[in-house]
Amino acid sequence: MTGYFAGIDIGSISTEAVIVDQGGKILGCAIELTGAESSKALQRALGRSLEQAGIGQEHVSQTVSTGYGRERAPSDWKITEITCHGRGVYEIFPQVRTILDIGGQDSKAIRLDQTGRVINFQMNDKCAAGTGRFLEVMARALEVEVSEMGSLEKQSQKPLRVSSVCTVFTESEIVGLLARGEKREDIIKAVHNSVAERVFGLLSRVGIEPEISLSGGVAKNIGIVRALSEKIGLKLLVPEEPQIMGAYGAALIAREKGSGKNRGS
C-alpha cells in the first residue's frame, strides 16, 4: 500500500482537497469554487493538491469524500462533514472540545469527547443567516469585498445593531442604514455581531465546553472571530487554514481506513 491519502470536501460554495502522507502531514491542498458543476471543481482541486504533493492519482491508496456533494465523488468512503470537521480540528487542537464550523450555506456546532469523537452536534441549514452566504449578501449591499470586512470593522467608532433573523430583512436594514448616513465600518461591525448572535444559539444547544475552535472559510474574517470571542467570553482557536478542515479530516480518516484503524463514520 502506498503512503498517500486524499480527502475531498464538496461544499455548496467551495470544494477542497487535501493530500496527506502516512504520518498525517499535509503534502498538498487546494480550494476551488464549486460552481454549477461540482465534478469539475473536484477535478481541479484534486489535481492541484496532487501537483503540490508531487504525486499522481495512482499513488493515492484511499480517498474519503465529505460535504453535501460527497455521494457524487469517486471515493472509497463517504463520511459526514460533522465527523470530518471534528477529525481535522482535533488533529491540530487535541485540547478542543467544542467546534463551530461556519460554511457557505450552513453552520455547525460540534462537541467532541477527549478522544476526538463527536458526541453532539447542531446544524443551521434552513436559513442563510449566520453563514458565509449571509456575509456575501451583506458585502454586496455595502459595496465591499467580503475579504475586506474584517479589516474595515477596525475603523468602527459607533455601535449599531442589525437583525440576525433573516438575510433579506438584514439586507433591507443595511440599505436603510446607508440611506440614513451611517458609516460602512459601523454597519459591518454590527453585521459581524449579528452573525455571532445567530451561531451562539447553536453552540448553546450542544453545550459550550472549552477549548473552542472556529473552522470554515468564515473563520478567516477577523471581525467574526472578534465578535464570537466577545459573545462567548472565550478565546477561539483558529487553524492556519480553517477552510480545509473538512477535507483534512477526510484525508486523515482515509489514512486510518487504509491502516485498519476505524474511528467510526
pLDDT in tens, 126-180: 666 678 888 999 999 999 999 999 999 999 999 999 976 678 888 899 999 999 9
DSSP, collapsed to helix, strand or coil, labels residue 163 as: coil
Question: Is 231:200 a contact under the CB 8 Å cutoff?
Answer: yes
User: What pLDDT is recorded for position 264?
Assistant: 44
- By the 8 A CB rule, do 160 and 177 touch? yes
- What is this structure's pTM? 0.91
Mean pLDDT of the chain: 92
Evaluate whether 44 touches 72 at the Cβ level (below 8 Å): no
Q: Give me the amino acid identity at 97.
A: R
pLDDT at 78 over 90: yes
Domains by residue range for the chain, with CATH: 1-93+244-265 (3.30.420.40), 95-238 (3.30.420.40)
